[in-house]
């Protein structure tokens, strides 16, 4: 059982902290710091200017033109008067600076509070779409994955977030639907051989059953058992391929293809020296499934072609082609889903319908991709597996 996801409140980052509150406080703090720096500079410059003005006023108060000689100057009332004039101007300058500093700080604090309030309001407006997306996401469950956030508004970061969540929901919906279909199909595939076995056993319990009928019943049970084994092996192989590649070896794709093709009496035109880094067992399963499917889902007298060569991108390309029944291009993607079978002489054979699913899973686990298209003339199927090549060794 996985860990529980603990949801915080709307816009909440942690206990006692919301994004809206933090934005408002940061907005106010930044305004307070910048405003404080501005007021400090203004007060320092104002104080320096006030002192210069006070000195000038003091000099004009104690020094006047001499009455008997207009070009001469005299100091009035002596040094005491000069001292008092400068003292008065200094006191006035200090008082003016203190008053200015007091009211500046008061105005700064009041404006900072207003900045916090404005930041709170702006943060609420900005985070409102996030709250709406959060509330809608909480209502979603595996039964309502078809719903979407459907974020509206300008093409900004919030719209991008909503679109990203919608894309994630679409992938989750697809994964859940695929899982449901897989479970339903697997249940059906497993139930069919069990029902067959139960019927055969009931027939075999008949005391009046002849030796030939008993032999036929045993053959039915044996064939059904083999079908169940192949189904279970296919499911295990599919699970192993989807888990990822754990063991890595240098595998010659051409040599491996020739070995697997010989097992199905098919001649392969494969280049040697295209080395793929991966799990040899899984890669052999990939090649074997493709060749086996091409042989099984073919028409009587049809041909199977297997080729390995380097493609234009320098990757190793495995191409398997047969001349089976005609198939529409829009029906091909469904063949890579579990328990999907094509038309052919082995349509109802012992296959579990997992071959191409395993091929796709193994290819993707090795950093490759699988593409398929109708064969030449519209008949059969051409499957191409492209795998990254780590080395090309000439032989």
Please give the residue that has the higher pLDDT: either 253 or 70. 253
List residues bridging with 63 in a β-sheet.
75
376-389 burial, b for 16+ CB within 10 Å, e for fewer?
eeebbbbbbbbbeb
What's the whole-number mean pLDDT along residues 215-223? 82
C-alpha span between 310 and 318 (Å, rounded)? 9
Please give the residue that has the higher pLDDT: either 87 or 213. 213
318: left (phi over 0), alpha (psi -120 to 50) or beta: beta
pLDDT tens-digit profile of 372-381? 999 877 688 9
**Nearest CA among 234, 235, 225 for reference residue 196:** 225
Contact 136, 108 (CB under 8 A): no
Q: Which two tokens stand for residue 326?
A: 């005609």
User: What domains are there in the chain, each with its CATH number?
Assistant: 16-139 (no CATH), 174-241 (1.10.287.130), 247-392 (3.30.565.10)
Determine the pLDDT at residue 21: 80
**Banded pLDDT at 185 (limits 50, 70, 90):** low
Write down the mean pLDDT value for the chain. 75
Q: Is the pLDDT of residue 382 over 90?
A: yes
**Nearest CA among 82, 83, 65 for reference residue 74:** 65
Torsion sign, CA atoms 123, 128, 129, 135:
positive
Please give the residue that has the higher pLDDT: either 1 or 236. 236
Least confident interval from 89-103, 286-300, 309-323: 89-103
C-alpha span between 236 and 219 (Å, rounded)? 26
Work out the percent of the chain whose per-residue pLDDT is above 90.
Answer: 12
C-alpha span between 127 and 11 (Å, rounded)? 7
**Banded pLDDT at 296 (limits 50, 70, 90):** confident
In 10 A of CB 73, how many CB atoms? 10
**Banded pLDDT at 31 (limits 50, 70, 90):** confident
Determine the pLDDT at residue 256: 94
C-alpha span between 355 and 372 (Å, rounded)? 14
Distance of CA 125 to CAs 22, 23, 93, 119, Å? 14, 12, 47, 10
pLDDT tens-digit profile of 186-201? 676 677 677 877 887 8
pLDDT tens-digit profile of 221-261? 887 787 777 667 766 766 666 666 666 789 999 999 999 99
Residue with tokens 């809206």: 20
Cα torsion 77, 82, 88, 94 to 10°: value is 180
Q: What is the DSSP letter of 379?
A: B
Model pTM above 0.75: no
Q: Is the pLDDT of residue 276 over 80?
A: yes
Least confident interval from 304-318, 319-333, 339-353: 339-353
What's the whole-number mean pLDDT along residues 263-281? 88
Determine the pLDDT at residue 81: 58
Q: Is the pLDDT of residue 328 over 60?
A: yes
Torsion sign, CA atoms 86, 89, 95, 97:
negative
Q: Is the pLDDT of residue 85 over 50?
A: yes
Please give the residue that has the higher pLDDT: either 348 or 157. 157
What's the whole-number mean pLDDT along residues 197-210? 76
Contact 204, 217 (CB under 8 A): yes
Determine the pLDDT at residue 15: 38
Least confident interval from 46-50, 261-265, 323-327, 384-388: 46-50
- At 320 the three-state DSSP class reads strand
Determine the pLDDT at residue 224: 78
Q: Is the pLDDT of residue 291 over 90?
A: yes
- At 18 the three-state DSSP class reads strand
């Amino acid at each position: 059982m996985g860990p529980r996801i603990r949801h915080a409140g709307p816009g909440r980052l942690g206990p006692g902290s919301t994004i809206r509150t933090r934005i408002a406080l940061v907005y106010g703090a930044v305004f307070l710091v910048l405003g404080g720096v501005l007021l400090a500079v203004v007060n320092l410059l104002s104080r320096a200017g006030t002192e210069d003005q006070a000195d000038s006023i003091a000099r004009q108060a104690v020094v006047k033109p001499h009455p008997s000689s207009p070009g001469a100057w005299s100091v009035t009332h002596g040094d005491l008067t000069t001292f008092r004039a400068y003292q008065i101007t200094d006191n006035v300058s200090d008082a003016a600076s203190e008053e200015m500093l007091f009211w500046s700080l008061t105005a700064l604090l009041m404006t900072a509070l207003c900045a916090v309030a404005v930041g709170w309001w702006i943060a609420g407006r900005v985070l409102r779409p996030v709250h709406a997306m959060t509330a809608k996401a909480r209502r979603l469950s595996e039964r309502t994955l078809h719903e979407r956030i459907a974020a509206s508004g300008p093409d900004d970061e919030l719209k991008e977030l909503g679109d990203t969540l919608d894309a994630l929901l679409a992938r989750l919906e697809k994964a859940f639907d695929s899982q449901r279909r897989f479970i339903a199909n697997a249940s059906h595939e497993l139930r069919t051989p069990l029902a067959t076995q139960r019927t055969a056993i009931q027939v075999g319990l008949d005391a009046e059953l002849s030796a030939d009928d008993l032999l036929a019943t045993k053959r039915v049970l044996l064939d059904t058992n083999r079908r169940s084994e192949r189904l279970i092996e296919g499911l295990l192989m599919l699970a192993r391929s989807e888990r990822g590649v754990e063991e890595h070896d240098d595998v010659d794709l051409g040599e491996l293809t020739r070995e697997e093709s010989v097992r199905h009496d098919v001649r392969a035109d494969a280049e040697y020296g295209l080395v793929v880094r991966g799990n040899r067992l899984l890669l052999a399963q990939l090649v074997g499934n493709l060749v086996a499917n091409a042989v099984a889902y073919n028409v009587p007298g049809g041909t199977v072609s297997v080729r390995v060569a380097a493609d234009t991108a320098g990757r190793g390309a495995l191409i398997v082609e047969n001349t089976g029944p005609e198939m529409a291009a829009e029906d091909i993607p469904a063949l890579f889903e579990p328990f999907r079978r094509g038309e052919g002489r082995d349509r109802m054979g012992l296959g579990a319908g997992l071959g191409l699913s395993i091929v796709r899973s193994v290819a993707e686990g090795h950093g490759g991709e699988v593409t398929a298209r109708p064969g030449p003339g519209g008949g059969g199927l051409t499957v191409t597996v492209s795998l990254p090549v780590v080395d090309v060794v000439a032989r």
